[in-house]
Amino acid sequence: MSQRVLTTESGAPVADNQNSASAGAGGPLLLQDQHLLEKLARFNRERIPERVVHARGSGAYGYFEVTDDVTGFTYADFLSSVGKRTEVFLRFSTVADSLGGADAVRDPRGFAVKFYTEEGNYDLVGNNTPVFFIKDPIKFPDFIHSQKRDPFTGKQEPDNVWDFWAHAPEATHQITWLMGDRGIPASYRHMNGYGSHTYQWTNAEGEAFFVKYHFKTNQGVRSLSAEQGAELAGKNPNSHQTDLLQAIERGVNPSWTLHVQIMPAAEAAEYRFNPFDLTKVWPHKDYPLQRVGRLVLDRNPDNVFAEVEQAAFSPNNFVPGIGPSPDKMLQGRLFAYADAHRYRLGVNHTQLAVNAPRATVASNYGRDGLMASNSQGRAAKNYEPNSYDGPAETGRPLSAPLALHGYTGTHEAPQHTKDDDFFQAGELYRLMSEDEKSRLVANIAGGLSQVSRDDVIEKNLAHFHAADPEYGQRVEEAVRALRED
């Protein structure tokens, strides 16, 4: 078999890829050397803006297989029959660090699944925690700024991190998760994934249900202590990426079992706390886990940049039978995620191989823009309606409508009888063993003790006291001891 010929991007054969064209031996280089200029120009443009959050990521392909009948709750086609398989792409990520950050750090992990269904791509964009730090998207840019590098010092500052949390009592539950034993997963394979938000399912009869997704790892949950994480991050910053890649290459395919919690829509208004509050979980005794299927990863990407870095997930990519809920954070993400990808990758990012539908064909009137590759066919019209058999609307909403009432304006979320920023954080603390509590307290105190302002420390301590008196007392004593050293 003859060796392939190296060519320029226009397909012309390259005569010499070792030496640039020059004006005589040892002379200055020539502007006419098209191959040299093309290589340097492309090299200058190899990087695209990294994600503001979830920049550091890994991913793999696989499939989702339905194991249990859920057709009483949704008419989504990919969930329509036991045994049905759908191709998926799953991207894992850290949240706060940059593209060059280490894997084994204390940070939530993104858990984003793209289902390539026959009715279009469905993106389920969640984390490895069932809750989050805030409940309204208007606070998200401020929250992330507080966790990122300070504009003056150029590094993450405990003053900024804890000052924001001092003004966000609803963050106490997620802080307890993050600073606990599951804050540093041993690998991406050994952590759970959650949809985190509340979503809506609609069945064939038009009945609406609110759901929460739980992907339980079949490898077992394994985590690292703060000391183990620091050591691993220093020795092998790519530890989680390497583990995922090598496991799949060996044929040790990681898997998760998907369960859902299902709440009839009519029960939401009278539930004892706001079921659309992202800082809270639904107790399993109220809405038990119901098994849906199994997610398996069995193929690594061929090119990390093309398939992981350019993978674009958006929570507004729904399919018939699945839709949004009034969850404020979800509502904000419906816009923000798609907009981020239009900025990073361009308006035609959905035509990239990793983002394009695989089990169906996108058919719409979107045209042109940077890197457009789909003309939609010869003489195809770019307006609707038309008289030329162009794609037409179905008239059938993807999900049931959400009831609305009241006046427009900026409103706090409606209060339910048991709404509280601290109760579930206290419940989580009380579920921990003594050793787990000790590590949690040490992790919190290690950061909070570095804060320079006493009033910020006191505000945060008040949150832990409100969650559980013992919790607050132990954190207070640990902070005091570290500040006296």
- The catalytic residues are 54, 127
Question: Any bridge partners for residue 214, and if so which?
Answer: 194, 259
Q: What are phi and psi of 175, to 5 degrees?
A: -60, -40
Name the burial class of residue 114, with classes exposed (0-12), middle (13-18) and buried (19+) by CB atoms within 10 angstroms of its CB.
buried
DSSP classification of residue 400? P
Evaluate whether 158 touches 148 at the Cβ level (below 8 Å).
no
Q: Is 252 helix (H, G, I), strand (E, B) or coil?
A: coil
- Distance between CA 254 and CA 199 in Å, rounded? 26
Q: How many CB atoms lie within 10 A of CB 261?
A: 23
DSSP classification of residue 49? P
For tokens 């280089």, what's the residue? 29
Amino acid at 434: E
- Distance between CA 283 and CA 272 in Å, rounded? 11
Evaluate whether 253 touches 296 at the Cβ level (below 8 Å).
yes
| Residue 183 Rama label (left phi>0; alpha psi -120 to 50; beta) | alpha
- Distance between CA 91 and CA 251 in Å, rounded? 19
Q: State the pairing for strand pair 290-299/85-94.
A: unpaired
Evaluate whether 331 touches 137 at the Cβ level (below 8 Å).
yes
CA distances from 426 to 165, 434, 464 (A): 17, 14, 8
> Can you spell out the DSSP letters for 410-459?
--PPPP-TT--SSHHHHHHHHHS-HHHHHHHHHHHHHHHTT-S-HHHHHH
- Distance between CA 190 and CA 109 in Å, rounded? 12
Q: Both tokens of residue 65?
A: 């297989």
Q: Both tokens of residue 327?
A: 């969850």
